[in-house]
Structure 1
Amino acid sequence: MHKIRAIDVDLTAGAIHFPDTKSGKPRWVHLTDEGIEFFRRHCLAKKPDDVLFTNENGRQYGASHQVRPMKEAITAAGLEGVGFHILRHTYASRLAMAGVPIAVIAEALGHADERITRRHYAHLSPSYVRDAIRAGLGRMGIFESDNVAPLVA
């Protein structure tokens, strides 16, 4: 499990660098404006090699330290069958439903190519192709603009 250090957070670019990933390739995770502000606050007064998230004794969290708090949060929210991996699916699903291109979602998830991303998330953005074609082609000048409108019965 990678410990996020202050040096891993690039507040100017709004991203976190993960040098060690499951795929063995380093990657950047891009943050929302709220994410940038969250990490800005956690980086205050930290030295570059300081770990950002530590327990009440100042020690690094271990790989299993999130299990109990996550279970408590799930119970408090009245949810079942939710875990950390579902957060990843929610992230990707929300991006797809917002019309973010599949290639961008694949990159954000760290997928080597976009086929697996397309298989899992393309159905959530059915208007993506339509919207991209309409935006790319624009008006073709076949009809002149006018003020004709259908009568409402």
Structure 2
Amino acid sequence: MTDYLEWSKLARSEGGHYNNLTLMNYHLVPDFSSIPIEAFCGKDLQRLAAKTLEQPPKRGFEATPSKIDPANLSADEVRRRKRTFNSLVTILRMVFRYAWENGHLTSERSWKCLNRVSVNHQPRTIFLTRSECKRLLAACSLPLRNLVMAALYSGCRVGELGDLRVADVGNGGFGVHIKPFKRSPARFVFLPEEGMAFFLEACAGKQKADHLFLSTKGLPWRRQHTLQFRTAVAKAGLPREFVFHGLRHTYASDLIQGGATLDAVARQLGHASTLTVMTTYGHLAAHVREAQVRRSFSALSKANQAAAGKQEERFAELRRAPLPETWDREGNFERTSSLPRTSLARPSKGVLETFASIPGRH
């Protein structure tokens, strides 16, 4: 594991390396680090699957939570546990690979048992209404409020906003230039007029090379927003599951609801294609779809056309009706199973039995 972490520190992003280190210390080190690597087998992997189901996630430096009965897990909780298990399997495969390359393994047997489980990836897409956005902003400290406001105006990730400099504002057009981040190339994000005013105001009194947004301690934003944001979410009375990345979802859903094309939204977010935008936000543009259907449908019945002409006031009333407070949740179909429609994973029988033992949740 030490060999792998040395590689991870050099090859992965700081956040990716930190996540690996956290997962290994929480799930692998206490119960599995003493196993001779060539003695590791399918039974150990099955034990890891059981532990992943029983052990709730740990956040930050909080005390290790007590184990729970997997039978009480919801389908979404099982899905998240499966994703954690798959991340651990990926780490173990890399660990075993380095053991093989460094001469600590004489056989591939222990490596061959490391297979992932099938899981239906349900995107966590909670979106805020404008009234909810205002409640959240009111609950934030000033530095965090500026960061949240910037995300709502641009749809940028927290890492992209943390790297933003004064020279990036208005550099190439009416918006901000975003540097390459993770696997995404550099892009230009256009802003609405009030957003442009906000970013220009944030530049006031700073040098071109200065970071645009700083934390409460005067440092560029990295991961230190997490606890502050979670506190603000609780104070604003928003869903506990809402995380900073949800501001990006909120931005995209607002654009789509306002009639923006999927291609425009994808380019603003930095996606290579519209596929992610279509699958994640396509069901939210209810009134946009209604307008498109109204414009595109060819006449079918003169009698019904005449009847429609007599209902103009009622039609206008229906179109003026506000969306329900939970409009963002509607159409976001939750699968009762964590299994995907198709699967290429080949987990062992023992691991399958462990996840399948949860009634109605496997």
So what's the TM-score if we normalise by structure 2? 0.35
- TM-aligned CA deviation for residue 62 of structure 1: 4.3
Instruction: Describe the SS at the equivalent of 2:283.
Output: helix
1:7 corresponds, among 167, 187, 198, to 167
Out of 64, 83, 86, the position equivalent to 2:246 is: 86
Q: Report how far residue 74 of structure 1 moved.
A: 0.6
Q: Which has the higher contact order (CA 8 A, sep 6+)?
A: 2
> Among 198, 209, 220, which residue is 1:38 paired with?
198
SS of corresponding position for 2:176: strand
CA deviation digits over 1:57-86, x for unaligned, max 9? 6x4324122112201211111121110111
Letter matched to residue 125 of structure 1: A
After TM superposition, the structure 1 = structure 2 runs for residues 72-151 of structure 1, keeping only pairs within 5 Å, are: 72-79=231-238, 80-126=240-286, 128=288, 131=291, 150=310
Equivalent-residue separation in structure 1 for 2:287 and 2:232 (angstroms):
35
**Rounded Cα–Cα distance in structure 2 between residues aligned with 1:61 and 1:17:** 17
Residues 185 and 270 in structure 2, CA contact (< 8 A), matched pair in contact too = no
Give the Cα–Cα distance (whole angstroms) in 2 for the partners of residues 36 and 108 of structure 1: 15
C-alpha change, 1:150 and 1:29, in structure 2 (3 Å) is closer
* Correspondence for 2:225: 66
TM-score under structure 1 length normalisation: 0.76
SS of the equivalent of 2:164 reads: coil
> How high is the sequence identity, in percent, across the aligned residues?
30
SS in 2 for 1:10: coil
Aligned length: 143
Give, as a single letter, the amino acid of the residue that structure 1 aligns with 2:234. Answer: T
Is the CA contact (8 Å cut-off) linking 1:27 and 1:110 kept in structure 2?
yes
Larger proportion of helix: 2
Q: 1:82 and 1:52, CA in 2 relative to 1: closer, same or farther beyond 3 A?
A: same
Query: In structure 1, how many angstroms separate the alpha carbons of the residues matched to 2:172 and 2:184?
Result: 25
Higher strand share: 1
- For residues 4-59 of structure 1, the C-alpha deviation after alignment (integer angstroms, 9 at most, x for no partner) is 110011178331111122224101122222211111111112221111222456x4
Q: Which consecutive unaligned segments of at least 5 residues does structure 2 have?
A: 1-158, 297-308, 312-362
User: Are 1:54 and 2:229 counterparts?
Assistant: no
Structure showing greater radius of gyration is: 2
Q: 1:150 to 1:25 in 2, by over 3 A?
A: closer
Secondary structure of the residue aligned to 1:52 is coil
Unaligned runs of 5+ in 1: 137-148
Secondary structure at 1:104's aligned position in 2? Answer: helix
Quote the Cα distance in structure 1 between the aligned partners of 2:289 and 2:221: 43
